[in-house]
Amino acid sequence: MPVNSPIALRCWPGLLPYFTVLDAMREFTRQRDAVTGDQIWLLQHPPVITLGSNADPTDVVDPGSIPVIRSDRGGQVTYHGPGQWVVYTLLDLRRMGIGVRDLISALENAVIDLLADHAIVATARSEAPGVYVHGAKIASVGLKVHKGCSYHGLSLNVHMDLEPFGRITPCGQQGLAVTQIHDLAPDWDEASIPKALMDALARRLGRPIQRGGV
């Protein structure tokens, strides 16, 4: 399969349970071979707190009724919920000739590019993956690589209830503020964000992303 072949984009309406998607990603990655095409999954989850491979369970302070799930992604603790777009990157990194740090940078820079189009200045931090605006986190990144192939990816806060982030220590960082696009640019047409994000990511990966349903 050509290195620059299109990445297939799969999108889902509504909310998909975290465990359902996690199992599907694992199975896709387990079964893929040298000719399996790369995919990006774009979706939203119902409320869930996830613990990455480096997470301290004590960083879940007061989950209330929100489920807490141990994940196999990198990183620490975060929250997913309605109004947050999640981008799962099921890519053969060895075939692409890139490393994990390259993919993390591509995801971060795609968000930075997206926000810059609306005059929002965002930055990444080498010591704490993700994207930040004035010190507040707007996007999180966590990956898993199995036999050179990645899954998990990026979550971008768009227009959601941020209160559950106060029930955890986000990314293990005490006092870390969290923000979202709606609070920074309330006039932004939120329906345009998924497509714009995929356009930015395609540029950063140097590969087209075949769109359908965005």
The residues assigned a catalytic role are: 171
- Binding residue per annotation — 88? no
**Number of neighbouring beta carbons within 10 Å of residue 186:** 9
Please indicate if the annotation marks 80 as binding a ligand.
Answer: yes
For the record, the structure tokens of 76 come out as: 């620490």
| 3 known ligand binder | no
Counting beta carbons within 10 angstroms of the beta carbon of residue 131, is it exposed (0 to 12), middle (13 to 18) or buried (19 or more)?
A: buried
Is 142 annotated to bind a ligand? Reply is yes
| 97 known ligand binder | no
Token reading at 24: 């599907």
153 is in an annotated binding site: yes
Distances from the Cα of 112 to the Cα of 10, 26, 120, 192, angstroms: 23, 28, 8, 16
Q: Is 212 annotated as a binding residue?
A: no
Is 74 assigned to a binding site? Answer: yes
Spatial CB neighbours of 167, under 8 Å, sequence gap ≥ 6: 49, 60, 61, 62, 63, 64, 66, 79
- Annotated binding residues for substrate, written as ranges, equal 73-80, 140-142, 153-155
- Annotated binding residues, written as ranges, equal 73-80, 140-142, 153-155
